[in-house]
Amino acid sequence: MRETILSAKNLTKRYANVTAVEGINMELKQGEIYGLVGKNGAGKTTFLRLVTGQTYETDGEISLFGANTKGALNQQRRRIGAIIEMPSFFPYLTAEQNLEYYRIQRGIPGQKCVSEVLNEVGLANTGNKKYRSFSLGMKQRLGLALALMNKPELLLLDEPINGLDPFGIVELRNLLLKLNREKNITILISSHILSELTNLATYFGFIDNGRMLRQLSSEELSKESNKYMEIKVDKVEAMAALLETKLGCTSYKITPEYDIHLYDYLDQPSKISHLAVSNGIGLNSISVKDINLESYFIQLVGGKSNA
For 28, phi then psi, to 5°, come to -125, 120
* Residue whose CB is less far from another protein, 67 or 177: 67
Q: How many residues bind another protein (CB under 8 A)?
A: 34
For 261, phi then psi, to 5°, come to -105, 110
DSSP string, 38-75: E-TTSSHHHHHHHHHTSS--SEEEEEETTB-SHHHHHH
Q: Shortest Cβ distance from residue 55 to another protein (Å)?
A: 4
Interaction residues for another protein, span 20-59 (CB under 8 A): 49, 52-56
Q: Shortest Cβ distance from residue 66 to another protein (Å)?
A: 15
Interaction residues for another protein, span 133-162 (CB under 8 A): 146, 150, 156
Q: What separation in angstroms does the CA of 144 have from each of 68, 87, 126, 148?
A: 26, 8, 15, 6
CA dihedral 33→36→37→42, nearest 10 degrees, is -170
Q: Shortest Cβ distance from residue 58 to another protein (Å)?
A: 12
* Residue whose CB is less far from another protein, 105 or 125: 105
Q: Which amino acid is at 270?
A: S
Beta pairing partners, 222: none
Q: Return the H-helix or E-strand segment holding 256.
A: none
* Residue whose CB is less far from another protein, 94 or 180: 94
* Residue whose CB is less far from another protein, 130 or 304: 130
Binding another protein (rule: CB under 8 A), the pick from 25, 74, 255, 270 is 74
* Residue whose CB is less far from another protein, 158 or 275: 158
* Residue whose CB is less far from another protein, 75 or 199: 75
Q: Shortest Cβ distance from residue 89 to another protein (Å)?
A: 7
Q: How far apart are CA 98 and CA 128, in angstroms?
A: 12
| Residue 69 lies near another protein (rule: CB under 8 A) | no
* Residue whose CB is less far from another protein, 179 or 231: 179
Q: How far apart are CA 77 and CA 82, in angstroms?
A: 10
- Of 226, 231, 228, give the one whose Cα is nearest residue 242: 231
* Cα radius of gyration rounded to whole Å, the chain: 24
Interaction residues for another protein, span 77-106 (CB under 8 A): 77-78, 80, 82, 84-86, 88-93, 97, 100-102, 104-106
Q: Which residues bind another protein (CB under 8 A)?
A: 49, 52-56, 73-78, 80, 82, 84-86, 88-93, 97, 100-102, 104-107, 146, 150, 156
